[in-house]
A and B are shown apart, each in its own frame.
Chain A
Amino acid sequence: MIQFFQVYKTYPGNIEALADISLKIEKGEFVFITGPSGAGKTTLLKLIIRAERPDRGEILVNGRNIARLKNSQIPLLRREVGFVFQDFKLLNHKTVYENIALVLEALKYKKREITKRVRQILRVVGLEEWVIKQTPLKLSGGEQQRVATARALVKSPSILLADEPTGNLDPGLTVEIMNLLEKVNHLGTTVLVATHDTNLVAKYKKRALPLYRGKLVG
């Protein structure tokens, strides 16, 4: 469960990213965070994994108070939350396997378990076996997005955050990725998708939290 209580965030230069945000997302929900570019969607997601700190207010994620979390506890929080970045953040000099395995290595999984889990998660996101030894730049945009999603899911997070996951994809691939996120949600993972695409929100009929200039509207 995710809860925000009157959260404020301002960036240097007095740029107000979020103001007075209060919200509640239940376990197992699928929620859109919507709004135009610069509305504060990415900042909101970053606050959930403590990549940013709120200036004011409290944030609870799975019972942890994010604003007051000790540095040593941040890794524990991040293990429960998967993040699909807008620009994928794949390491282009590493293979698909290495990109995904890196997460499990960081979580100190054994080598045999890593191999098993990477293969499993690639099947879940619908990628074929041949992809495993490729580097990201040899893959299409849709395939890269799936690899990024696989990397976020491989540690079995209870919450998945996706920042504009369909931003760079054509309509056909967008449907595929959205179907994948719905599938993950049906398996019990709470899913938050940040998007500026109003058509997408209208089509999938999920709860939407509209942001405009850092404030929740409507």
Chain B
Amino acid sequence: MGAFYFIRRALRDIKDNGLTHLLSIGTIAISFFLFASFLLVSINFDSFLQAWEKKVQIVLYLKDGVAKKRILQIEKEIQKQEEVQQVKYISKRKAMESFKRDLAPYGGLLEGLKEEVFPASLEIKLGEPFRTPERIKALAARLNKIKDVEEAQYGGIWLERFSIFLYILRWGAWVLGAVLVIIIVTVTANTVRLTLLNKRAEIEIMKLVGATDAFVKLPLYLEGGLQGLFGAGVSLLLLFLLFRFFSLKISPYLSLYFGQLRLSFLSPDLIAGIMGVGLASGLLGGLLSLQKAAEV
């Protein structure tokens, strides 16, 4: 008589008491769905952030009339900074050409535009380890102080706000996760307790004819575990279907802004982790309810 026998008995108990279990699995699924959604959103925002960080650069606008020699000096000064990977000089003419290229469809409007209008600038790319909002901000502040520099610009504020938002989201997911475990343990403990009450006569007879404690209790533990597992499974399935639906809708816009970037679903490790949390919390619920039930 192996594990399958006990799993079969646990499944039979779940079937016998269908509505109660359906409600409890539903509750667990909704809780897991919230948690997994938070996780999914934060993972995808994280990859946006990373993609953004790869593209991020500081543009240093120079004051008008800075001599070529001075520009070279500034370039050298910037190169000395450890964060800097590459510095590229964009002359007034180049700036104008690039502007015209970007706005070619509106060509008529740009006629007569002179290169003096555009400031010369230095485009600074950062080394990979330094593409964090804090480092970029600090570097931009330092570069701003260089003589003959008009202004250092970067997507800084946006990046900073986004990363704070992501931080809150991530913590929110874990707080939600902790609440979730409490919900699952309580819900499964109550459902197992109901099964216990429904089956009191059967359990009493089993005990009186010589069934061991383990024989009586094991299916009830498993019942709790299976509820947690099913709840987690249902929520992941639902989330996956919604994810597929939305990613099809959103993807075209994403590629517009982020190139090759794609939305990604939870990794197999995370899926296994969520299922594991479901199983473990369900088992814990079963355990708690059986400990309370002194009569068994």
A residues near B (Cβ < 8 Å) are 49, 51, 71-72, 75-79, 83, 89, 91, 102-103, 106-108, 110, 151, 155
26 A-B pairs with C-beta separation under 8 A:
A49-B208, A72-B212, A75-B210, A75-B211, A75-B212, A75-B213, A78-B207, A78-B209, A89-B201, A89-B204, A89-B205, A91-B201, A91-B205, A102-B205, A102-B206, A103-B209, A106-B206, A106-B215, A106-B216, A107-B210, A107-B211, A108-B1, A108-B215, A151-B209, A155-B209, A155-B210
Among all A-B residue pairs, the 9 with the closest Cβ atoms:
A106-B211, A79-B210, A78-B210, A75-B210, A103-B209, A106-B206, A108-B1, A75-B212, A106-B209
B209 touches A79 (CB 8 A): yes
Give every chain B residue within 8 A of A78 (Cβ-Cβ): 207-210
CA distance A83 to B1 in the complex (A): 25
- Which residue of chain A lies nearest to B211 when distances are taken between CB atoms in the complex? A106
Give every chain A residue within 8 A of B1 (Cβ-Cβ): 108, 110
CA distance A146 to B47 in the complex (A): 71
Give every chain B residue within 8 A of A83 (Cβ-Cβ): 208-209
Q: Mark B210-235, 1 if CB is under 8 A from A, else 0.
A: 11110110000000000000000000
Q: Residue B210 contacts which of A51, A76, A110 (CB distance < 8 angstroms)?
A: A76
Give every chain A residue within 8 A of B134 (Cβ-Cβ): none
Give every chain B residue within 8 A of A51 (Cβ-Cβ): 208
Main secondary structure of the interface of A (DSSP, over half): helix
Give every chain A residue within 8 A of B213 (Cβ-Cβ): 71-72, 75
Interface residues on B, range: 10 to 19
Is B64 in contact with chain A by the CB < 8 A criterion? no
Give every chain B residue within 8 A of A91 (Cβ-Cβ): 201-202, 205
Determine how close the nearest CB of chain B comes to the CB of A104; give it in whole angstroms. Answer: 9
- Which residue of chain A lies nearest to B205 when distances are taken between CB atoms in the complex? A89
Give every chain B residue within 8 A of A103 (Cβ-Cβ): 205, 209
Give every chain B residue within 8 A of A89 (Cβ-Cβ): 201, 204-205
Give the contacts of B154-209 with A (CB-CB under 8 A). Answer: 201-202, 204-209
Give the contacts of B32-78 with A (CB-CB under 8 A). Answer: none
Give every chain A residue within 8 A of B202 (Cβ-Cβ): 91, 102
CA distance A151 to B209 in the complex (A): 9
CA distance A89 to B201 in the complex (A): 8
Determine how close the nearest CB of chain B comes to the CB of A35; give it in whole angstroms. Answer: 23
CA distance A106 to B208 in the complex (A): 10
Determine how close the nearest CB of chain B comes to the CB of A163; give it in whole angstroms. Answer: 12
Given contacts A79-B209, A106-B210, 12 further A-B contacts (CB under 8 A): A71-B213, A75-B212, A77-B210, A78-B210, A83-B208, A91-B202, A102-B206, A103-B209, A106-B206, A106-B211, A106-B215, A155-B209
Which of A75, A83, A89, A155 has the most chain B CB within a 10 Å cutoff? Answer: A75
Determine how close the nearest CB of chain B comes to the CB of A114; give it in whole angstroms. Answer: 11
Determine how close the nearest CB of chain A comes to the CB of B239; give it in whole angstroms. Answer: 38
Give every chain A residue within 8 A of B206 (Cβ-Cβ): 102, 106
Give every chain B residue within 8 A of A107 (Cβ-Cβ): 209-211
Determine how close the nearest CB of chain A comes to the CB of B91; give it in whole angstroms. Answer: 88
Determine how close the nearest CB of chain A comes to the CB of B213; give it in whole angstroms. Answer: 8
CA distance A24 to B216 in the complex (A): 33
Determine how close the nearest CB of chain A comes to the CB of B40; give it in whole angstroms. Answer: 44
Give the contacts of B1-16 with A (CB-CB under 8 A). Answer: 1
Determine how close the nearest CB of chain B comes to the CB of A73; give it in whole angstroms. Answer: 10
Give every chain B residue within 8 A of A77 (Cβ-Cβ): 210
- Which residue of chain B lies nearest to A152 when distances are taken between CB atoms in the complex? B209
CA distance A78 to B213 in the complex (A): 13
Determine how close the nearest CB of chain B comes to the CB of A137; give it in whole angstroms. Answer: 14
Give every chain B residue within 8 A of A71 (Cβ-Cβ): 213
- Which residue of chain A lies nearest to B204 when distances are taken between CB atoms in the complex? A89
Give every chain A residue within 8 A of B205 (Cβ-Cβ): 89, 91, 102-103
Determine how close the nearest CB of chain B comes to the CB of A148; give it in whole angstroms. Answer: 10
CA distance A184 to B213 in the complex (A): 30
Determine how close the nearest CB of chain B comes to the CB of A75; give it in whole angstroms. Answer: 4
Give the contacts of B103-151 with A (CB-CB under 8 A). Answer: none
Determine how close the nearest CB of chain A comes to the CB of B204; give it in whole angstroms. Answer: 7
Give every chain B residue within 8 A of A106 (Cβ-Cβ): 206, 209-211, 215-216
Give every chain B residue within 8 A of A110 (Cβ-Cβ): 1
CA distance A78 to B1 in the complex (A): 20
CA distance A146 to B197 in the complex (A): 27
Give every chain A residue within 8 A of B208 (Cβ-Cβ): 49, 51, 78, 83
CA distance A102 to B209 in the complex (A): 9
